[in-house]
Amino acid sequence: MTQLQLTGAAMAALMAASLGACNTAPPAKASADAGKIADAIKADAAQRIADINAHDAAKVAAHDAPDGILMFHGQPNAVGIPAIQASFVQRFANTPDIRVTLTDPTVDVAASGDLAVLHSTTVTTATDPTTKAQVTTTNNSLSGYKPQADGTWKIEWSVVSDVGPPPAAAPAT
């Protein structure tokens, strides 16, 4: 092989290696620790319920993202932290003895780690402002959480829906 052929072969090998380096797959994204995320969201949900039971509207709203949306049955949507806080201020004024319990919280975390959904049941006990009777309601709750720049998880949207009264018992036959 001549010097020119040897140089050409070396150049071809270098070019092939360079092109091969361009076609390598990107490094794999670290998988999200779904268990750790789910635990953080469950802890946040428990703290939010504690803040509701303490009637601290500012702390309740602080669990939401700045552009969060609260959709609560029978009320207009509250968009953004100030509106969510105002919604809870009104609720606490209307039902000063409100107490909420959270049951069966379950969290589904997206494989990408950029979205998690909390679904649970809440039971609310309060005095009806009109009838003055003690009322207990069961609600389905669904909340979408997203990670924030500071690493915390905040509620982007939340839907609370009254389950309604249990069905009437079937007549005896």
**Parent domain of 136:** 34-162
| pLDDT tens column, 38-58 | 999 999 999 999 999 999 999
Residue 10 is assigned to a structural domain of this protein: no
Residue 78 is assigned to a structural domain of this protein: yes
Residue 21 is assigned to a structural domain of this protein: no
The better pLDDT of the pair 13, 64 is held by 64
Residue 58 is assigned to a structural domain of this protein: yes
pTM: 0.77
Domains of the chain: total = 1
Cα angle 134, 163, 74 (rounded to 5 degrees) comes to 75
Can you tell me the distance from the alpha carbon of 128 to that of 170, in angstroms, rounded to the nearest whole number?
29
Residue 72 is assigned to a structural domain of this protein: yes
The better pLDDT of the pair 81, 73 is held by 81
163 and 139 Cβ atoms separated by less than 8 Å: yes
Quote the tokens at residue 171.
Answer: 């007549």
Can you tell me the distance from the alpha carbon of 99 to that of 125, in angstroms, rounded to the nearest whole number?
5
Residue 25 is assigned to a structural domain of this protein: no
CATH code: domain of residue 70? 3.10.450.50
